[in-house]
């Protein structure tokens, strides 16, 4: 096995092996578990870093394993794969630290961290999948690994949420299964990026290709939370905060969004998608989802619920970017994949801090909280401003690029959607900020989780501040040559034939 074959496998294994081992570590051996978990998380970041570095030198990273009967398991570290893998690996490391702090002393931690690692394994597997079969395998694996996390608390609401989650995702998975096999029959074991085969079918079987595309999008749309398939997401927020954070930032929803990216660019190819006019309806659905999610977020008093609807809305920027056929919009979609993840994880960490430290779950209880927890609320403010699209936070970059992308292809209505969405984002985030910083506190704060120093235990605080700063830095340095934006633009260029703008 060469280095190029070994490294992609190692990236997946760096969370799979600790995940499996954790199930064998007795519940009481918290230190052993932490060591396993953190070493896996650090190893994953390092491995992804090494692969990026080697890729920059032009080396290929591909692993093929023949399951038999045409089924090929393929991991391939191409541009988008590495982009998504870096997001998952970095955020997994941060979330692991956070989760260790968050769950200190609570029961069933063995189970939690075991499945948590498996969940990240599935997520990196989705990132590195080099063909639809591999993608589908990890996509379903993600459903299974996430379910125990959603129901972890075991409360009736959690079980209900788990049930909803399963019906939606298994249903979506089933539809996707049909689409994937159908695709397989049409193209054979094609790798991602091999679009000729499907394109060559185009003249005769337009209707088939249309149907196939929508079957695939329907299957992926559940996890990508496209309206009306989003119902599970706001319910699933009953999961513990680190799970919600990971669910909303990298794991489940991004799996769907990333799948849409792969289907449009690496399976159909932008040329075919444009030729068949597949993208316009997708753009409309994405736009509806953006507005609908924001409207629903307005009326939620529960902080995590508000954030969840905000995810529904924000996530569809990715689908919208994909649906506008131009390099700028494509780059916007990829950038948002990362930026939204970092900002949303910040917001969920903050919500978790509030809930753990002061048992605050509602927006209406936030009056004056800024003085009690300044760092947490500082991070929250950065995240919220980013979501609104305020420069120089990361979220601004996406909206700017999306707007430019819309103008590039002459879709002026995109600007209107962006404006409406930003206004709505402001309408549901600014009152939170106003209450937190400017209103006086209603009552004495009762501390449930005392900290030795600072406003809350450091294992909760440090990750929150780090991701908060990261959301700021990603925006500030977006114009440099090594930013996510530059990377995304480079990837987007590879998907467009040289002749198109």
- The whole-angstrom separation of Cα 215 and Cα 29 is 46
Report the DSSP beta bridge partners of residue 302: 362
- Taking CB under 8 A as the binding criterion, the range among 173-181, 281-289, 390-398, 458-466 that sits at the site for other proteins is 173-181
Contact flag: residue 16 with other proteins (CB under 8 A): no
Shortest CB 314 distance to other proteins, Å: 29
Contact flag: residue 182 with other proteins (CB under 8 A): yes
**Ramachandran class of 192: left when φ > 0, alpha when ψ lies in -120 to 50, beta otherwise:** beta
SS3 55: helix
Contact flag: residue 174 with other proteins (CB under 8 A): yes
Options 20, 144, 288, 427; binder of other proteins; rule CB under 8 A: 144
DSSP 131-194: BHHHHHHHHHHHHHHHHHHHTTT--HHHHHHHHHHHHHHHHHHHHHHHHHHHHHHHH-SPBTT-
Options 6, 177, 437, 458; binder of other proteins; rule CB under 8 A: 177
- Taking CB under 8 A as the binding criterion, the range among 92-100, 138-146, 224-232, 275-283 that sits at the site for other proteins is 138-146
Of 175 and 393, nearer to other proteins (C-beta) is 175
Phi, psi at residue 447, to the nearest 5°? -90, 125
Of 182 and 437, nearer to other proteins (C-beta) is 182
Alpha-helix residue ranges (DSSP H) falling in 300-450: 303-323, 327-358, 369-372, 374-388, 394-408, 413-438
Options 7, 90, 97, 151; binder of other proteins; rule CB under 8 A: 151
Of 161 and 273, nearer to other proteins (C-beta) is 161
**Taking a C-beta distance cutoff of 8 angstroms, is the pair 224, 319 a contact?**
yes
Shortest CB 186 distance to other proteins, Å: 8
Dig out the tokens for 182 from the structure.
């159908």
Contact flag: residue 105 with other proteins (CB under 8 A): no
Shortest CB 58 distance to other proteins, Å: 32
- The whole-angstrom separation of Cα 255 and Cα 259 is 6
Of 186 and 415, nearer to other proteins (C-beta) is 186
Of 145 and 335, nearer to other proteins (C-beta) is 145
Shortest CB 95 distance to other proteins, Å: 22
Contact flag: residue 214 with other proteins (CB under 8 A): no
| Helical packing angle, 484-495 and 79-102, nearest 10° | 140
- The whole-angstrom separation of Cα 313 and Cα 343 is 14
Options 163, 210, 274, 361; binder of other proteins; rule CB under 8 A: 163
Kindly identify the residues of this chain, within the stretch 44-103, that bind other proteins according to CB under 8 A.
66-71
Shortest CB 39 distance to other proteins, Å: 24
Of 26 and 58, nearer to other proteins (C-beta) is 26
**Taking a C-beta distance cutoff of 8 angstroms, is the pair 455, 373 a contact?**
yes
Residue with tokens 């399951």: 67
Report the DSSP beta bridge partners of residue 131: 191
Shortest CB 139 distance to other proteins, Å: 9
Phi, psi at residue 195, to the nearest 5°? -100, -5
**Taking a C-beta distance cutoff of 8 angstroms, is the pair 261, 332 a contact?**
no
Shortest CB 150 distance to other proteins, Å: 10
Shortest CB 235 distance to other proteins, Å: 14
- The whole-angstrom separation of Cα 206 and Cα 194 is 19
Q: What is the largest CA-CA distance in the chain?
A: 71
Options 159, 202, 298, 451; binder of other proteins; rule CB under 8 A: 159
Helix (H) / strand (E) element for 63: namely: strand 62-68
Contact flag: residue 18 with other proteins (CB under 8 A): no
Contact flag: residue 137 with other proteins (CB under 8 A): yes
Of 268 and 349, nearer to other proteins (C-beta) is 268
Phi, psi at residue 63, to the nearest 5°? -125, 130
DSSP 269-280: HHHHHHHTT-HH
Contact flag: residue 274 with other proteins (CB under 8 A): no
- Taking CB under 8 A as the binding criterion, the range among 137-145, 373-381, 420-428, 468-476 that sits at the site for other proteins is 137-145
Shortest CB 407 distance to other proteins, Å: 42
Q: How far apart are the first and last CA of the chain?
A: 41
Binding site for other proteins (CB under 8 A): 23, 66-71, 108, 111, 136-137, 140-141, 143-144, 147-148, 151, 154, 159, 162-163, 166, 170-171, 173-175, 177-178, 181-182, 184-185
């Amino acid at each position: 096995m060469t280095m190029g074959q070994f490294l992609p496998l190692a990236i997946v294994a760096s969370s799979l092996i600790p995940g499996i081992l954790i199930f064998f570590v007795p519940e009481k051996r918290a230190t052993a578990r932490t060591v396993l978990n953190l070493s896996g998380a650090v190893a994953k970041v390092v491995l992804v870093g090494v692969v990026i570095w080697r890729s920059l030198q032009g080396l290929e990273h591909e692993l093929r394993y023949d399951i038999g009967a045409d089924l090929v398991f393929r991991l391939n570290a191409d541009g988008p794969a590495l982009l998504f893998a870096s997001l998952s690996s970095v955020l997994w490391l941060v979330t692991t630290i956070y989760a260790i702090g968050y769950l200190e002393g609570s029961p069933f931690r063995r189970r939690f961290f075991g499945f948590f690692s498996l969940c990240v394994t599935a997520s990196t597997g989705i990132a590195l999948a080099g063909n639809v079969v591999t993608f589908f395998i990890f996509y379903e694996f993600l459903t299974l690994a996430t379910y125990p996390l959603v129901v972890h608390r075991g409360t009736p609401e959690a079980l209900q949420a788990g049930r909803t989650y399963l019906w939606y995702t298994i249903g979506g998975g089933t539809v996707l299964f049909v689409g994937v096999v159908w695709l397989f029959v049409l193209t054979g074991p094609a790798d991602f990026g091999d679009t000729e085969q499907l394109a060559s079918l185009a003249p005769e079987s337009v209707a088939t290709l249309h149907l196939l595309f929508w079957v695939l999008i329907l299957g992926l749309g559940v996890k990508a939370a496209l309206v009306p398939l989003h119902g599970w997401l706001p319910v699933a927020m009953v999961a513990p905060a680190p799970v919600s954070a990971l669910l909303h930032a990298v794991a489940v929803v991004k799996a769907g969004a990333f799948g849409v990216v792969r289907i449009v660019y690496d399976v159909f190819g932008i040329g075919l998608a444009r030729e068949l006019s597949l993208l316009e309806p997708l753009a409309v659905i994405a736009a509806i989802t953006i507005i609908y999610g924001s409207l629903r977020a307005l009326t939620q008093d529960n902080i995590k619920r508000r954030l969840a609807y905000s995810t529904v809305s924000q996530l569809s920027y990715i689908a919208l970017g994909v649906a506008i056929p131009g390099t700028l919009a494509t780059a916007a979609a990829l950038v948002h994949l990362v930026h939204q993840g970092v900002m949303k994880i910040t917001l969920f960490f903050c919500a978790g801090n509030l809930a753990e430290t002061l048992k605050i779950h509602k927006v209406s209880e936030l009056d004056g909280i800024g003085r009690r927890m300044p760092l947490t609320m500082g991070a929250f403010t950065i995240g919220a401003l980013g979501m609104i699209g305020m420069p120089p936070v990361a979220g601004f970059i996406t909206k700017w690029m999306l707007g430019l992308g819309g103008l590039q292809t002459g879709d002026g209505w995109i600007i209107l959607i962006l404006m409406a969405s930003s206004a709505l984002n402001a309408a549901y985030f600014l009152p939170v900020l106003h209450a937190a910083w400017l209103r006086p506190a209603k009552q004495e704060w009762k501390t449930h989780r005392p900290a030795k120093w600072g406003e809350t235990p450091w294992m909760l605080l440090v990750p929150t501040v780090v991701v908060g700063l990261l959301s700021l830095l990603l925006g500030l340095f977006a114009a440099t040559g090594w930013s996510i934006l530059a990377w995304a633009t480079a990837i987007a260029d590879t998907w467009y034939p040289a002749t198109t703008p």
